[in-house]
Amino acid sequence: MLRSLDLRRLVTVGLAGAALTVALGCEKESEVKQPETDPTTKVFDDFAKRVDAYLKLRKSIVDSVGDLDPTKSQSEIATRSTALAQGVIAARSQAKPGDIFTAEFATIVATLVKEEYRRRSISVQETRGDQQDELPDFQPTVNQMYPTTYPLATFPATLLPLLPSLPEQLEYRVVQHYLVLRDVEANVILDFMPNAVPMT
């Protein structure tokens, strides 16, 4: 009777041990098979979080100045835009280059853009050289109002797919070799990165 009971205990313990071994083995195998996060994806995800943080700040300012009403007069729309810009600049008084365009982001984007330029044909590169003179040539700074004396040059269509998408409130702009992040309605430069676009 005792031998039979001991035998059952041994079988139970053995099965439990085997089950535990299998479970641990599966867990280790699962850990090994988990793919590593792509560095570019990680950096772009961080960029998206920084953009979201700005949008939350911006919403609090919009709540104060009011939503854009396209039915208003141009004068009233301009007054609201100025109020929004002043609110953004005041709320981001401590902002500095790299707060949104981090060093990691800048490195990846500059590499992607340079690779895209190298793939261009000679004729396209020459066209780029002709268009270079049309680009704004001022020195961008954080919290600067985008100078209205310079045109908003069309952003290169071939570069846009390389960059993370932006909400409608923001846009990318090229100022000489700088990549600029601009608030559309406020007309404020939120961040910039130098040497983003090759000079010809």
Provide the CA 141 distance to its chain's centre, in angstroms.
Answer: 18
Cα–Cα separations (whole angstroms), residue 83 to 19, 76, 89, 96: 67, 11, 10, 21
- State the Cα angle at 72 between 69 and 76, rounded to 5°: 100
For residue range 110-143, list pLDDT tens digits in order: 999 999 888 876 655 555 544 555 678 899 999 9
Task: Please answer whether residues 192 and 169 qualify as being in contact, where contact means their C-beta atoms are separated by less than 8 angstroms.
Answer: no
In whole numbers, what is the pLDDT of the chain averaged over residues?
Answer: 82
The pLDDT, as a whole number, for residue 121 is 66
More confident residue, 138 or 38: 138
Least confident of 30-39, 72-81, 138-147: 30-39
CA distance 174 to 65: 29
Task: Please answer whether residues 165 and 158 qualify as being in contact, where contact means their C-beta atoms are separated by less than 8 angstroms.
Answer: no
The pLDDT, as a whole number, for residue 119 is 83
Mean pLDDT along residues 80-108: 97
